[in-house]
Amino acid sequence: MNPGEPASVENHRTERESGAIVYPVYSRRSEGLSIGINLFPNKKICSFDCPYCEVFPFETDIYFSLDVMERALIESIQHARKHNIPIRDICFSGNGEPTMSPYFQEALNRAVIIREQWAKEAALVLITNGTMLLHEQTYKYLVEAASGSKRLDIWLKVDAGTEAWYKCINRSEISFHDLTTKITQFAAKAPFTIQTMLCGIDEQVPSSEESSAWIDLITRLALIADKAFGVKSIQIYGKARPAPEDPRAQPLPCNILHERAEALRKALNENGLDNPINVYP
């Protein structure tokens, strides 16, 4: 593949895991290009250990470089423009939790400048599990980046409403209480999109207590955010892609995802809210 040339959605994982720092992905669904930025080309680093995680074990001797990122990002944008491919977004995700990289803030600052110069129409997206909101300097940086002139779209993972399900689906040492408290504070300060994975783990499905607690949590976040910037949307995902721990995490029938969305919609409406909810089985 030539530098800057978009990969298909199907093969971008292999690219990331062979050390790509910038991996353009063409999406047929949105008929556009998403240019992924991977801050961990050498190995996965994450504060969660989700059983559904799609990052397969890998190791390379390629280290992240801001200059390489900058050059590859500009090349990808130029390639898309030359072929009249619309650029949907520039997206920080990759092999782990992007905000844990020491390069994260400088990489984002540089991506903002490149976006302004070359691809003003593109959204700038961060996919995050939110754990670095507990780090005060990162919290302030993300508030400013999402609410200020950087126009950062934050897609924040909220997979669980109870500590029990959080321990199952995210398997993190980080306190569920501390994390949700911090996300609640963040909701009063900056706009964001909520992402939730809904799947079975080890043949267990989320209990009715878990479903109610998740609906309460999301409604609370949406109410608090409504007084500031608002929750942009809630995305409910099903497990659709292979993961190294398969079959520990199992896809749930589509209707369960839609029922959860409907129950949330009802709770939001009862509170005078109508945030968009999207389901991706």
Q: Which is nearer to ligand SF4, 24 or 96 (CB)?
A: 96
In total, the chain counts a number of residues equal to: 281
Q: How far is CA 99 from CA 44, 129, 149, 154, in A?
A: 13, 9, 19, 11
Q: Which is nearer to ligand SF4, 210 or 268 (CB)?
A: 210
Q: Please, what is the minimum distance in Å from the beta carbon of residue 273 to ligand SF4?
A: 27
Report d(CA 127, CA 141) in Å as an integer.
15
Tell me which residue of 169, 57, 152 sits closest to 98, measured CA to CA: 152
- Give residues with Cβ within 8 angstroms of 157, minimum separation 6: 48, 127, 128, 129, 130, 170, 195, 196, 197
Report the residue closest to ligand SF4, judged by CB: 53
Q: Which is nearer to ligand SF4, 37 or 53 (CB)?
A: 53
Q: Which is nearer to ligand SF4, 53 or 132 (CB)?
A: 53
Binding site for ligand SF4 (CB under 6 A): 46, 48-50, 53, 55, 96-97, 129
Work out the end-to-end distance of the chain between its first and last CA atoms, rounded to an integer number of angstroms.
31
Q: Which is nearer to ligand SF4, 77 or 155 (CB)?
A: 155
- How do strand 87-93 and strand 152-157 relate by DSSP bridges? unpaired
Q: Please, what is the minimum distance in Å from the beta carbon of residue 49 to ligand SF4?
A: 5
Q: Please, what is the minimum distance in Å from the beta carbon of residue 132 to ligand SF4?
A: 11
Q: Please, what is the minimum distance in Å from the beta carbon of residue 52 to ligand SF4?
A: 7
Q: Please, what is the minimum distance in Å from the beta carbon of residue 157 to ligand SF4?
A: 6
Residues 41 and 21 sit within 8 Å (Cβ to Cβ): yes
